[in-house]
Chain A
Amino acid sequence: MASGTVTSSEYISHHLTNLTFGNHPVNGWSLAHSAQEAAEMGFWAINVDTMGWSIALGVLFTWLFRKVAKNVTAGVPGSTQNFIETIIEFVDDNVKGIFHHKNELIAPLSLTIFVWIFLMNTMDLVPVDWIPFIAGEMGVHFMKVVPTTDVNATAGMALSVFALIIFYSIKQKGLGGFLAELSFQPLGKLMLPFNLFLELVGLLAKPVSLALRLFGNMYAGEMIFILIALLPFWVQWVLSVPWAIFHILVITLQAFIFMVLTIVYLAMAYDHH
Chain B
Amino acid sequence: MNHPGSIIPGLLNIVLGLAFLMAAAALLTWVERRLLGFFQDRPGPNRAGPFGSLQVVADGIKLLFKQDWIPPFADPAVFVLAPAIAMVTVMLAIAVIPATPVIGIIGNLNVGLLFFLAMSGLGVYSVVLAGWSSNNKFSLLGGMRAAAQMVSYEVFMGLSLVGVVMLSGSFNLTDIIHSQRHLWYVVPQFIGFVIFFMGGIAETHRLPFDLPEGESELGAGFHTEYSGMKFGMFFVGEYIGIILVSAMTTVLFLGGWYGPFLPPFMWFGIKTGFFVAFFILLRAALPRPRYDQFMSFGWKLLLPLTLLNILVTGALILGLPGPS
> Are A and B subunits of one complex?
no
B interface vs A, CB < 8 Å?
none
